[in-house]
Chain A
């Protein structure tokens, strides 16, 4: 079996802060991290490999420094790592990203032995753009079924059985065949930390395969900014609305004051 895990490098969102005085971005030392859900995706792939045997390829599209997240994936235990990097990929929206990722997967699929199965695992969303669109669009591009928001995953013979959560009121158990793309929620597992020897291997024994637009034989009209139907037209920092009052006095006074304000605001 082959397992593809798509991982994305994102700015550690917790560090993106707004300076309230100047209303601008405080961007000092924003560290880049592996999208948290993608670590759950890696963990799932590793646990499948441990149970049933599989070869895991981690794939990321991004600038050269996205190499870091692939090294981390290698250190956790994935077998191969592919970085899709090319200036021509810049500015990609989810349509262009999923197309580019699909080219890499198709390229590797050529190695697939007869009757060998494969699955693709994505995170349910990336915390920077927060779209959750790349998974389903990638499944469409590969022409395979998808199951999103997965919190439990199992392989039984030729079948894949998953629990999908759309709402808190119900869990839907779905059965499908190979190949399939799933996107995982953080509830599915707790990602492992790389071991010391894993880290050493990731930097010394394993390598990262670089793929650019030419090696992927990408259609220029479908990648990067040109392949994107959506365009960012404007980016702005939201204005904070309303007054900000810190109440003072004794507890009784503060509570009194709060209630009066809430009455005025027609809440109480």
Chain B
């Protein structure tokens, strides 16, 4: 495998140098040259306007896989306290679209214990088939049992696409399954389409903290596995469908797992769900004090919104860690995101740039958040927020009349 520049084609435009994150290309005498730092990511190949850069792969000595044996789209269900995670319904929505494009079946795979009464309801979200592996121990999550069971199912049924929620749990078992069946796995996708001709799944995901998007494909092997970010795709409207239900009982017990759940500590906390909130009001260092943070809460109250914080706000103890938005906090995509006293550091932005409408209140006209915001207010939040609360309350009462 190698990368090379066709010296005759290269026009020295420099696009490749510009896009490369690794200093992997340099301009020498107006011709692009690959350096030792190149890691073959392929960004330059795509950006080159004259197709002067090519990556060549050696023909694999290993036997080529017969891709045609693999058919069908699978969604793996995650559940918690006997409730299916919302992302599963979102994936069924997207999965239906992919399955229709490929003209194959869509299957929902559940490993669990107490879902017999819910299967009918689950069958209204787009699946053609539900595979329900039932075992009392599977009411909880056991990494190794998930991996073992799913691998066996994959080897038996040979699906061509497997989608899993990019939650911590999904990201725990998906890679291990992928490794065991030697499948490519793309993490945390936010876009999925099919290239009909090759039947390849085109998997788009943010990388480098969301500054760059990469589209990944798995052309030489099957299944094509992806974990998918929650909150991106929409579930289908419920409708009656004919669904084949395959229920299989497994008699797993504790000894079948190498690890033992010693205990589960429930954290009794005001339930917050930033990932699924429609409106989020976030406060940063500019809020000034814990006392002032009440302003943020009041604004949230009157909009029925959740409260978020930047890392600084969390570190200053103005708000709890659970509320942190950003690279080391939550990734959110509400309809409305109001950033108050937040500068817009990249680590914060990566967690909220998927918001539909972003409003920023900041007294520094040069704050980067104002460049990202759809509506920016340059001003002191201590004056702006009370005014905003007043106004919103007025609108609300007018509406009621």
Which of A's residues lie within 8 Å of B, judged by CB? 11, 13-14, 16-18, 20, 24-25, 27, 30, 63-65, 87, 90-91, 93-95, 98, 127-137, 139-141, 145-149, 161, 163, 165-177, 186-187, 220-221, 224-226, 228-238, 240, 242-247, 251-252, 254-256, 258-259, 261-263, 265, 267-268
With both beta carbons as reference points, the residue of chain A lying nearest to B220 in the complex is identified as A229
Q: Which stretch in B4-12, B52-60, B106-114, B117-125 binds the other chain?
A: B52-60
Q: Does B21 contact A (CB under 8 A)?
A: yes
**Complex interface: chain B residues within 8 A of A259 (CB):** 388, 391-392, 395
Q: 18 other contacts beyond A220-B61, A233-B202, with CB at 8 A cut-off?
A: A16-B21, A27-B21, A64-B36, A140-B147, A146-B143, A146-B176, A147-B259, A224-B40, A229-B185, A230-B217, A232-B216, A233-B217, A234-B215, A240-B372, A246-B370, A258-B375, A261-B375, A267-B357
Contact of A254 among B211, B215, B379 (CB under 8 A): B379
Q: How far is the CA of A141 from the CA of B182 in the complex (A)?
A: 11
Contact of B384 among A187, A220, A255 (CB under 8 A): A255
Which of B's residues lie within 8 Å of A, judged by CB? 1, 18-23, 36-43, 46-47, 55, 57-58, 60-62, 80, 141, 143-144, 147, 167-169, 171-176, 178-180, 182-188, 202, 206-221, 258-267, 269, 271-272, 279, 321-322, 327-328, 335-336, 345-347, 357, 359, 365, 370-379, 383-384, 387-388, 391-392, 395
**A-B contact list, 26 entries, CB within 8 Å:** A11-B208, A27-B18, A27-B23, A98-B179, A133-B174, A135-B175, A136-B176, A137-B175, A137-B178, A137-B179, A169-B271, A173-B265, A176-B258, A226-B57, A229-B182, A231-B42, A231-B216, A233-B42, A234-B215, A235-B214, A244-B373, A244-B374, A247-B376, A251-B383, A254-B384, A262-B359
Minimum C-beta distance from A30 to chain B (A):
7
- Is B374 within 8 A of A268, CB to CB? no
Known: A234-B46, A267-B357. A170 touches B265 (CB 8 A): yes
Determine chain A's interface SS by DSSP, over half rule: mixed
Cβ-closest 7 pairs across A and B: A229-B184, A91-B40, A131-B187, A176-B259, A133-B175, A136-B175, A230-B184
**Complex interface: chain B residues within 8 A of A98 (CB):** 179
**Complex interface: chain A residues within 8 A of B357 (CB):** 242, 262, 265, 267
Minimum C-beta distance from B150 to chain A (A):
13
Contact of B259 among A145, A229, A237 (CB under 8 A): A145
Minimum C-beta distance from B154 to chain A (A):
14
Q: How far is the CA of A256 from the CA of B391 in the complex (A)?
A: 7
- Is A95 within 8 A of B267, CB to CB? no
**Complex interface: chain A residues within 8 A of B39 (CB):** 63, 90-91
Contact of B267 among A149, A168, A173, A224 (CB under 8 A): A168
**Complex interface: chain B residues within 8 A of A230 (CB):** 184-186, 216-218
With both beta carbons as reference points, the residue of chain A lying nearest to B167 in the complex is identified as A166
